[in-house]
Amino acid sequence: MAFARHEKKYICTPQTIKIMHSRLKGLLKPDPHTNFGAYTVYSLYFDSNINISAAENDAGDIKRAKYRIRYYNALEGLKLEKKQKINGLTQKDSVPITHKQAESLISGDVAKLLHSKEPLLKEMAIKIATQHFTPKVIVAYTRYPFVCPTSDIRVTLDTNICCSYQTDRFLNRSFARIPLAATASDIMEVKFNQVLPSYIKMALSDDSLIQSTFSKYYLARKRAAEIGR
């Protein structure tokens, strides 16, 4: 497995997000899967009973992984994902899953999934059965994605980021939402394979940007600690 994709994250103010959106419209194309340039992302993150994934991110381990169920808008594109990072490069594996399979993963009733022919689904079932992985937190946000198909560059602007600990309500979207940060902040992610072209790098340059190594999952768990969850 080759880890060849760079991913840079920046914490932004809402005003900076507006500036970046204006700049990107003239350079890149909106992701063709969007509705009017945006879609809503819903992710349910899993972790072990000793919070292995959160601890790896907190420690800044050079090799770490996290598991999540994700869908878009009104339960579109339901899938299981494993996202790994090693030496600063990322690799994401995903597999489409059914509503019933998602319910089984969430409830921990994975006896049948232990024999799945899908390697990632089987791996997740084993994690649940042997390492006590359970749903920990929901993260939801509005995403404005831009792409450059010829060079596989992707820049996403994530706004209205919130989290919830009502994980049993993930699939029906009836969970209560808590802002991810105590003060308003959005996130820009820049993903590319080899080198980011200088014209894009210049367009994304802004003194107000704060680069972050922490994932949304880690920030959501940190937010939980702040509010006493």
Assign residue 152 the CATH number of its domain: 3.20.100.30
Q: What is the torsional sign of CA 72, 44, 191, 40?
A: positive
How does pLDDT run across 134-180, given as a tens digit for each residue? 999 999 999 999 999 778 899 999 999 999 999 999 999 999 999 98
Residue 228 has a pLDDT of 64
User: What is the span of the domain harbouring residue 177?
Assistant: 5-226
- For residue 10, give Cα distances in angstroms to 20, 75, 96: 12, 28, 29
Instruction: Name the band, by pLDDT with cuts 50, 70 and 90, for residue 190.
Output: very high
Q: Which of 77, 67, 69 is nearest to 39 (CA)?
A: 77
- What pTM did the predictor assign? 0.93
- Whole-angstrom distance, CA of residue 104 vs CA of residue 125: 9
Q: Which of 120, 106, 169, 107 is nearest to 140 (CA)?
A: 169
In the chain, how many domains are there?
Answer: 1
How does pLDDT run across 28-75, given as a tens digit for each residue? 999 988 888 999 999 999 999 999 998 888 776 678 899 999 999 988
